[in-house]
Amino acid sequence: MKSKFVVSAMLAALVSMAAFAEVTSLRGDQGISDNNQVSTIKQLPKNQDKLALDYVNQPPLIPHSTVQVQLNVSNNGCLECHDVSTYRKTGAPRVSPTHYMDRDNKMLTEVAPRRYFCLQCHVTQVDAKPLVVNDFKPAGKFGQ
C-alpha cells in the first residue's frame, strides 16, 4: 500500500513538472521582477463601419469606443442606445432577442442577467498586432 502511494506521488510530481515546463508567457522570457514597460494604449476609432463576422454566432465587434460607457450592476450604458425601446431613436443596432432569454429559453421583459454585461462577449475593434500566431480562416462566406 505504501509503495502505491510513493509511486502515485512520484507520478504526480513528474506530471506537474512536465506541465510547468510547457507554460510560456505572452511577455516572452521577461521575468516578473524585471522592469516592465507598459505598452501604449491603442487608439480606438471614433466610429467605423460595421465589421464583418468570421463565424456563425460570433458576437458582433463594437465599431466605436466604449471608454465612456458605464457598465456595472446598477447601470448598463450599452442599453441606452441598443435596447429594444431606444434603438430606433438612436439608429444603433438593437440587442438580439436571444439576449432576452433565460437559460431555459423563456422570454424575459429585460435583458437576461447572463447577457447583461455586454463587454464579456462584445469587444471594441482596435488595430493591434496579434499576441500569438493565429492562422484562423473565416468559415464559409464569413469575413468576405
pLDDT of residue 137: 80
Q: How confident is the model at residue 89 (pLDDT cuts 50, 70, 90)?
A: very high
Query: How many Å separate Cα 47 from the centre of its chain?
Result: 20
pTM: 0.61
Q: How confident is the model at residue 83 (pLDDT cuts 50, 70, 90)?
A: very high
The answer, yes or no, to whether residue 10 has pLDDT greater than 90, is no
Q: Which residue has the higher pLDDT, 87 or 31?
A: 87
Q: What is the pLDDT of residues 128-141, one digit of tens each?
A: 777 888 888 877 76
> What is the rounded CA–CA span in Å between residue 40 and residue 125?
16
Q: Which three cell numbers stand for residue 121?
A: 462577449
> What is the rounded CA–CA span in Å between residue 133 and residue 119?
24
> What is the rounded CA–CA span in Å between residue 54 and residue 19?
32
> What is the rounded CA–CA span in Å between residue 17 and residue 9?
12
> What is the rounded CA–CA span in Å between residue 60 and residue 110?
20
Rg of the Cα trace of the chain?
A: 23
The answer, yes or no, to whether residue 74 has pLDDT greater than 80, is yes
> What is the rounded CA–CA span in Å between residue 130 and residue 133?
7
**Residue 45 near residue 64 (C-beta atoms within 8 A):** yes
Average pLDDT over residues 98-118: 93
For cell 442599453, name the residue. 79
Q: Which three cell numbers stand for residue 33?
A: 521582477
The answer, yes or no, to whether residue 124 has pLDDT greater than 70, is yes
pLDDT of residue 88: 93
Q: How confident is the model at residue 42 (pLDDT cuts 50, 70, 90)?
A: low
In CATH, the number for domain 43-130 is: 1.10.1130.10
CB atoms within 10 A of CB 84: 14
pLDDT of residue 6: 75
